[in-house]
Amino acid sequence: MTTTDDFTAVRPQLRIDGAEPLSRELIARVQAFADQAEEAGPDSVAVLRLTGDAPADAPVGVPADGVSIALVNKWERALRRIERLSATTVAVVDGECGGTALETLLTTDLRLGTPDVWLRLPSGAGPGSAWPGMALYRLANQVGVARVRRAALFDTPVGAVDALELGLLDEIADDLDTAVAVALAVTPGRGADVAVRRQLLLEATTTTFEEALGRHLAACDRVLRRGAHASES
């Protein structure tokens, strides 16, 4: 039987356990993953394996010796790199997904999960206190404030079916290996257009029509030029 490891053997990969505390080592791994994805080029697919959640009484990613706001800033900037990669990113989520894993999930393009997935926002200062990081910003922009209010304000976990309905997951599969293999087979070949369209979507809720028009026209012009070039060759 073909497994996800067979299909991802030569692809940039990153594994994050949400129970893992925020650290310089974790940030370095994310940055190295981003470097590999950029080196692989815009037609590549980068795979993130995400699972695990921090204990209910543990603040997100806070190691025993504490965490500085400078470290949080570096983490948020590392996540932003994933969100702006030229490569397509595919997240594979298994079981519980919280903490740093959940924050990473929200930066990806295609999200596949098992039926037993439970998504939970990272905790800030104990049970029921959501960490006020950029995951809140991404959730509000991707899903809408009203639809994630309970998860954000009252630490309500989101099950697989609800996550699918909200668009936090794109597919639920019992056989995750097969689902990933299919996704990896059809995703490549999109080129830098994926990054361009992703960026236009990210900017849509914070940019006026007049500001956005020029960027969208430039993207349309690139597509038209490429089409004209293809017809001539």
Mean pLDDT of the chain: 84
58: helix, coil or strand? coil
Q: Answer whether 34's CB lies under 8 Å from 78's CB.
A: yes
Burial of 159-187, coded b for 16+ CB within 10 Å and e otherwise, reads ebebbbebebbbebbeebbebbbebbeeb
pLDDT at 153 over 70: yes
**69: Cβ contacts below 8 Å, ≥ 6 apart:** none
**pLDDT computed for residue 57 by the predictor:** 54
pLDDT at 64 over 50: no
When computed from its CA atoms, the radius of gyration of the chain, rounded to whole angstroms, is 18
Measured CA to CA, the distance from residue 79 to residue 107 in angstroms comes to 7
Average pLDDT over residues 113-126: 84
Average pLDDT over residues 96-109: 95
Indicate the pLDDT class of residue 230, thresholds 50, 70 and 90.
Answer: low
**pLDDT computed for residue 8 by the predictor:** 46
Indicate the pLDDT class of residue 61, thresholds 50, 70 and 90.
Answer: very low
Average pLDDT over residues 41-64: 74
pLDDT at 2 over 50: no
pLDDT at 7 over 50: no
Q: Which of 43-47, 90-94, 109-113, 158-162 has the lowest mean pLDDT?
A: 43-47
**pLDDT computed for residue 63 by the predictor:** 46
Q: Crossing angle, helix 24-40 and helix 69-83, to 10 degrees?
A: 20
**pLDDT computed for residue 9 by the predictor:** 47
Predicted confidence (pLDDT) per residue in 185-208, tens digit: 776 555 567 888 888 888 888 888
